[in-house]
A and B are shown apart, each in its own frame.
Chain A
Amino acid sequence: MLRVLFQRLLLLPILLAVFSIAVFALVQAPPGGFLTSYVSMLASSGSSISEEQVEALRRQFGLDQPFHVRYFRWVQNLARGDLGLSLEYQRPNVELIHQYLLLTVLLALFSFVLTWAIAIPAGIYSATHPRSWVDYALTVMNYIGVAIPNFMLALVLMWIAFSRFGISVTGLFSPEYVQAPWTLGRVTDLLTHIWLPTIVLGIAGTARLTRVMRANLLDELHKPYVVTARAKGLSEWRLVLKYPVRVAINPLVSTIGWYLPQLFSGSLIVATVMNLPNIGPLLLRALVQQDTYLAGSVLMIYCFFTVIGTLISDLLLAWVDPRIRMER
């Protein structure tokens, strides 16, 4: 077990090095560069700068250097934990990412809790009462939940909120709390705003998990140990919760690790549409503006979480399932 962990940890830097090349190359792939996007953005806001100034900016940002020089400079700083300077924001990337990270994690946590709190009871109920009308109703809702794209749901809910109640539910804070320090008022304000994005982000996951839970539990319910326990007179709900649910929940637990990278990437479109201050729109904007170092940094963080997430989920699996643990 320890050896596996050790091997995995050794592999980590190599994986990240490969990823960093891929990320940097991808971020640079679109035609033009930061200055082309920057100048074109100025042009479509009705203003423009002269060619000499563009050249001066190019030198200032180090964009006149060849690809490999810029890559090595970037990766060297990265190794030292320095994510560089955003070209567009003219602020250190660490500062920007830090600013968005807390709310990203918070939002993901909320939707995670919501997902599990609904999916597990719903899955258990469906499995123990198969072909009841509640089961059918849940099944239909699950299919809808999986089928509707998140951003679409967000748009529809936003429009209903506006046209019915005259409120625009974008963002996570009222204006007076956006920049405010954390006080009780700000927390309350956050709670009044966070439920809608939480539902939107959680709904697809809930639907999927409910189905998984239902299917797994259905498999277990007819196994001999359940029949034996029932014959011995154990009350029905204690019986279900104590044995088959624990087995059925295993696959869910072992995929927790995958949830880590999903936290960040899953919400990009929803966050953009709903104007949420999380890391998704920051990445999107950095990509559109070809803000190389910012986009690269965020993508590297994604990669890092993916690797770590997979590691965690492997370890969890090994811990949960003796068959995997014993394997050599």
Chain B
Amino acid sequence: MRQKLLNGTPHCVMLLMAVLLALGVGTQVPTPPPVLAQASKYKEAPMLAALVKAGKLPPVAQRLPEDPLVVDTIEGIGQYGGVWRRGFLGPGDFNNYHRIVYDALVRYSPDGTKVEPKYAASVTPSKDFTMWTVRLRKGAKWSDGSPFTADDIMFWYNDVLLSKDLTPALPVWMKNHDGSPVAVQRVDDITVRWTYKDPSTTFMMELANKDSGDRQNACFLPSRYLKQFHTKYADKAKLDQMVAAAKFKTWVELFNARAQPPENPERPVMSAWVPATRISDQLFVLRRNPYYVGVDKAGNQLPYIDTVQFKFFADIQSLNLAAIAGQLDEQERHIVLGNYPVLKEHEKDGKYRVILWQGFGGADADVTFNETYTKDPDLGRLLQNRDFRIAMSYAINRNQIKESAFLGLGEARQPVAAPWSPYYPGNLYARKYTEYRPDEANRILDRIGLDKKDGEGFRLFPGGNRRVTIELSVVPAFGPWPDVAQLIAKDWERVGIKIIVQVRDRALHFQMRQSNDLQAEIWNQDTAGFPFTGTPKYDPRTILYGTITIGPLWKQWYDTGGKEGAEPPAPVKRLVELIDRAKTADPKEQARDAQEIFKIWVDNVFEIGTIGLTPMDQGVVVVNAHMHNVPTKLGKDWPLRTPGNARTEQFYYK
């Protein structure tokens, strides 16, 4: 079994990917779309052909845009039909839906290193990266058959983004450096131009995530449909009546609920499947979109699969049991890494196969010390000491963690981007301080003044007889973190540092992060592939609940413009500088900036990485034995909307 696991990620493949990437780096420049073999002959699903025959639907050629999206199939041309059964955990699990449909103008490639056109035909930057021209596919239509045009983007910009009611605070990507909103103009029916005051080289990456994920508005909205809920366009009496009928208090609440596809089957979408029920129902069903803009190379309109069916599970283990029983057709979300051996064992029943998708970088469990901890000044000072952190990193036996908590998957590393990323800072940094050297750790600890021990062999704070005790807070959220915490605690006690592992509820843990009450914690570093967009954990200004920050008071210092909190040290200030600069730098410089960020991160041991590049979070994939075109290698991360970046519309059954 062990041998088999290790073979799952052959190094030659990683190397090949790295080489390929080095040749094709550049997230900015859209690649030319694959060419269609016979543009004149489009084919469609039998169920749609029947509707066309019955006169209920226009012919396929009229439903597709003039220049449809041509999707590369992974194994080959597929067949129509079938139901894709998936499990979900209720309405809070709405990102399960967003990951399947990936409803965006542009999207990440399967390996996660490029951004490709989807509903947009092209996205072109000006030479200085201040102007971005988005051209939509001419003749593309929403799932209700209404035209998809520049007006749908302008409606989002003028009536949603610039409406103080609907968007109380501008998102970072739509803000110029001086705080003013980025200008968006309509050029013609299908062309829209974004104009930044400073160069913006992360535009494509941002655009690839504007898909209404996280319940936020996508940057293109079905304006014809949504105007009935917008105070600017709707009849006031009628709108008030609708608000009251839905039990909402304001039109804003109504608008936000109606604009969310998983909550409203009536809202037209552009994606391959359209919700037919609501996510708060027992069974959340999506049906094929007869107007989907995508075709395969042979001219078959996509998607191949007729229906996607999300079954509600109240409990994550009963979802896993359903997967083991072969009742889920492609499922990676909520599959627990610890169940991998059982899944493998039942693979022989012939109902499914198991695929592993590796993490996109970073570490899947790492320790962060709160460097602005103030409740205990002695401890706070110690946690700020870089040498102390280096010693603690040396004192961890990562091999043992890998074998017992990660089933031998992944590798010991610091939380930096993956080797196949243009941002990779090199092996030296990925592995820095990760060797198991307890003797060296002891030497360092002695040197920094922790050389006195009590009767039980635990180190004392200098100039007193108080034991150095650190509380390690851990949330049983994704993976085997509580186990990792126990193993680390044992390792650290071996070099004389007393650790108390506290397993806490998520909400309580987050609350304590906010109130600067955590001393140390375990979380993951899954933003390594995307340090400039979204909410990267490397940015000390990112929010406290939701992401790790190494110093809550540093964040406060940035938030209040230096009035409150604690002034961060030079390396942290440098991180902020690099992140801001990279957003306006050209791709090559951007990669250099990213590498420098990672080098600073590792040199200062802001986080202590343990094991990374594992399939821990949503990387253990159960696939029906009859389902095809599911890639065996795939970049796995939230910004990629995995498995959305595998192009789910070309999955099919044979």
Contact = CB atoms under 8 A, between A and B. Distances in A.
Interface string A190-218: 00000000000000000000000000000
Interface in B194-230: 213-216
Contact of B321 (A40, A52, A162): A162
Nearest to B313: A275
Given A49-B216, A170-B322, A275-B314, A88 B92 contact: yes
B637 A50 contact: no
Nearest to A34: B507
A46 B546 contact: no
A60 B252 contact: yes
Interface stretch (B42-50, B164-172, B181-189): B164-172
Given A32-B507, A40-B510, A44-B506, A175 B543 contact: no
Interface residues of B, number: 68
Nearest to B278: A91
A188 interface: no
Interface in A254-294: 271-277, 281, 284-285, 289-290
A56 interface: yes
B28 interface: no
Contacts of A92: 246-247
A88 B91 contact: yes
Interface string B560-603: 00000000000000000000000000000000000000000000
B506 A41 contact: yes
A32 B507 CA distance: 6
B213 A46 contact: no
A179 B285 contact: yes
A39 B545 contact: yes
B85 A175 contact: yes
A44 B316 CA distance: 14
A285 B90 contact: yes
A53 interface: yes
Nearest to A92: B247
B37 interface: no
A327 interface: no
B511 interface: yes
B617 A89 contact: no
Contacts of B248: 85
Contacts of B545: 36, 39-40, 43, 54
A37 B281 contact: no
B169 A39 contact: no
A115 B246 CA distance: 41
A318 B233 CA distance: 64
A162 B543 CA distance: 44
A31 B505 CA distance: 10
Contacts of A85: 247-248
* Residue of A50, A89, A272 with most chain B CB atoms under a 10 A cut-off: A50
B277 A179 contact: yes
Nearest to A103: B282
B517 to A, nearest CB: 10
Interface string A150-194: 000000001000100011101101010011000000000000000
Given A168-B325, A272-B314, A47 B506 contact: no
Contact of B546 (A49, A178, A271, A276): A49
B29 interface: no
* Residue of A48, A54, A272, A276 with most chain B CB atoms under a 10 A cut-off: A48
Contacts of A275: 312-315, 318
A175 B638 contact: no
Nearest to B559: A51
B617 A46 contact: yes
A272 B321 contact: no
A42 interface: yes
B508 interface: yes
A30 B507 contact: yes
B280 interface: yes
B143 interface: no
B507 A49 contact: no
A110 interface: no
Interface string B300-328: 00000000010111110010011011010
A54 B543 contact: yes
Interface in B602-654: 617-618, 637-638
B314 A47 contact: no
B519 interface: no
B214 A31 contact: no
A162 B311 contact: no
B511 A32 contact: yes
A16 B475 CA distance: 37
B73 interface: no
Given A91-B280, A275-B313, A289-B92, 9 more contacts: A44-B475, A44-B506, A45-B638, A46-B638, A47-B214, A48-B547, A60-B250, A175-B85, A275-B314
Which 5 pairs from chain A and chain B are nearest by CB? A52-B169, A48-B546, A46-B638, A32-B507, A281-B314
28 contacts: A32-B511, A39-B510, A40-B506, A42-B546, A45-B95, A46-B526, A46-B638, A47-B213, A47-B638, A48-B543, A48-B546, A49-B214, A49-B215, A49-B535, A49-B546, A50-B169, A50-B172, A55-B169, A60-B252, A62-B249, A82-B247, A91-B280, A167-B325, A168-B325, A170-B318, A175-B309, A178-B283, A272-B315
